Structure 1
Amino acid sequence: MVVFIYVYTGVLTALLAVPNYVPIINTLDELATSSTIKPVTIKSTAVDDIMLNAKNGTYKLIGDTFRKFPNETLVANTLVGVQRAVEGKYGFLEPRMSLLSLMENDRKEQNSCRVTLAKQTFYPRAFAYLLPKKSPFKDAFDRQILLLQQYGFIIHFQTKIVLQSNRCLLLKKKVRSRPPIFTLNHVSSSFVILVFGFAVSFLCFVFENMWNFIDYLYDL
């Protein structure tokens, strides 16, 4: 599971206008203790059940927020969760694979990357298939899922296929991998000091000449 948060885009320098894909928060602890970002999840799912039943720690803090602001933080579906994240005041808690899909769909609809993922996952992945009771295929599903997990195919699918098809994450990686470009913005404070120095020097020059002129008048 990961935290889904809003992307703040801004101009890095005056000469290089590149979106800054850096999350407001990166860990569950930051989300739980944030005074500006509230956690959001879908009502009656595994996430809210875990948080609401936690007795201590970070999970309990998030559960307390769910109890205090149920109308804001416990939403009906993923579309509302994404919209909450876009508002910039909420972090959407949802399975990573689901968020990657939502993230890509939002990019296609809006033609921009409005949301991104926090770095930290907060409990291990789980897989489930809905089968009829006493289904003869249950053991086969269990066995194959375990094999896929043990051989690393699931991780490979997530990292090589799903992540590489998500343009927002690829753009984020590309932007971060670029070497920093030295621009005038990096020395802007020096120019401010220089201008201030010129102004002070000019005032001193004017004051000194006025003082000398007054002395000259007195001598006459």
Structure 2
Amino acid sequence: MLMTLVLTRSYAGNLMALLAVRHISEPYHSLREVLDDPSVTMVWLKGSSVGRYLTEAESGIFREVGDREKEGRLLWRTQAQFPNDIDTWVRRGTHVLMEVHYGLKMSLGKDYTKTGECSFYESKEEFLPLIFAMVGPKNSPLVPAISKRITSMTEAGLFFQWLKTEEPNSTVCYRTPTKVTVKTSLSLTNIWGMYVILAAGHLVSLSVLCLELLSLHLKHTGIK
């Protein structure tokens, strides 16, 4: 009876924890993890400088990424095709979108605005950063003046403010927790394990009873 009480309390505690805390899977946090998984396909921006770099890289991890195109694990898509790709391929978990940081924030924000929940996540590892700049004539007095104003705008956070103005939910899903607390009513779909254990317990008890009856019968008939 003591053992039954301990097992019952333990199972009840684990069941309540399982129902209350939901674990969100995030299998890809680095480019290496994506490359090592043969079941996932990468989606890159078509016609970008990154795409040209991948095709021209002669060694390293980006050479491996370029080689995946021959295996059918690398697709080139346009910016206009990204929303549909996210809502289909990426949502099913068969594809991973490779995009610049601001582009990912916009995509996550738009999906949150549409669905009301964070369905996607960004990897913790960032790679191949892009530096945008304005090109001016050499030794031109305009270059220092423009550089000073661009630096002031960056330090003031105007770029982030413009991003948030264009998509208010762009930062809602940034670094979302992998464990969330949920509230749900009990139903047969979330407590079916209790009935499975109950049925298994009755089956084991019935098997033990049959063995005892068989042993008693063999004992009375003199068969060992």
The bucket for the TM-score relative to the shorter chain is 0.5 to 0.7
Structure-2 residue corresponding to 1:204: 208
Structure-2 residue corresponding to 1:15: 19
Structure-2 residue corresponding to 1:108: 113
Q: What amino acid maps onto 1:86 in structure 2? A: R
Structure-2 residue corresponding to 1:9: none
When normalised by structure 2's length, the TM-score is: 0.62
- Assess, with a 3 A threshold, how the Cα gap between structure 1 residues 217 and 59 changes in structure 2: closer, same or farther: closer
- Assess, with a 3 A threshold, how the Cα gap between structure 1 residues 68 and 133 changes in structure 2: closer, same or farther: farther
Counterpart CA distance in 2 for 1:106 and 1:200 is: 50
Question: Is residue 23–residue 117 contact of structure 1 (8 Å, CA) maintained in 2?
Answer: no
Question: Is residue 52–residue 60 contact of structure 1 (8 Å, CA) maintained in 2?
Answer: yes
Counterpart CA distance in 1 for 2:84 and 2:113 is: 17
- Assess, with a 3 A threshold, how the Cα gap between structure 1 residues 48 and 17 changes in structure 2: closer, same or farther: same
Q: What amino acid maps onto 1:37 in structure 2? A: V
When normalised by structure 1's length, the TM-score is: 0.63
- Assess, with a 3 A threshold, how the Cα gap between structure 1 residues 137 and 39 changes in structure 2: closer, same or farther: farther
Q: What amino acid maps onto 2:68 in structure 1? A: T
Q: Is residue 82 of structure 2 the alignment partner of residue 82 of structure 1? A: no
Give the aligned CA root-mean-square deviation in angstroms.
4.2
Which protein has the bigger strand share?
A: 1
- Assess, with a 3 A threshold, how the Cα gap between structure 1 residues 141 and 92 changes in structure 2: closer, same or farther: farther
Counterpart CA distance in 1 for 2:91 and 2:133 is: 29
Show CA shifts across 1:74-127 (max 9, x none). Answer: 002232553442242111111111111111011212333222111100123423
Q: Is residue 79 of structure 2 the alignment partner of residue 60 of structure 1? A: no
Q: For 1:43-54, what aligned pairs fall within 5 Å after superposition?
A: 43-54=46-57
Q: Structure 2: where are the runs of 5+ without partners?
A: 1-15, 182-189
What SS is found at the alignment partner of 2:96?
A: strand
Q: For 1:168-207, what aligned pairs fall within 5 Å after superposition?
A: 168-169=173-174, 172-173=176-177, 176=179, 199-200=203-204, 202-207=206-211
Q: Structure 1: where are the runs of 5+ without partners?
A: 1-11, 179-184
Counterpart CA distance in 1 for 2:126 and 2:152 is: 23
Counterpart CA distance in 2 for 1:92 and 1:165 is: 17
- Assess, with a 3 A threshold, how the Cα gap between structure 1 residues 76 and 17 changes in structure 2: closer, same or farther: same
Q: What amino acid maps onto 1:74 in structure 2? A: W
- Assess, with a 3 A threshold, how the Cα gap between structure 1 residues 57 and 142 changes in structure 2: closer, same or farther: same
Structure-2 residue corresponding to 1:91: 96
Counterpart CA distance in 2 for 1:93 and 1:13 is: 35
Q: Offset at 1:55?
A: 0.7
- Assess, with a 3 A threshold, how the Cα gap between structure 1 residues 31 and 208 changes in structure 2: closer, same or farther: closer
Q: Aligned residue pairs: how many?
A: 188
- Assess, with a 3 A threshold, how the Cα gap between structure 1 residues 176 and 42 changes in structure 2: closer, same or farther: same
Q: Is residue 75 of structure 2 the alignment partner of residue 73 of structure 1? A: yes
Question: Is residue 40–residue 91 contact of structure 1 (8 Å, CA) maintained in 2?
Answer: yes
- Assess, with a 3 A threshold, how the Cα gap between structure 1 residues 118 and 177 changes in structure 2: closer, same or farther: same
Question: Is residue 51–residue 62 contact of structure 1 (8 Å, CA) maintained in 2?
Answer: yes
Counterpart CA distance in 2 for 1:86 and 1:147 is: 39
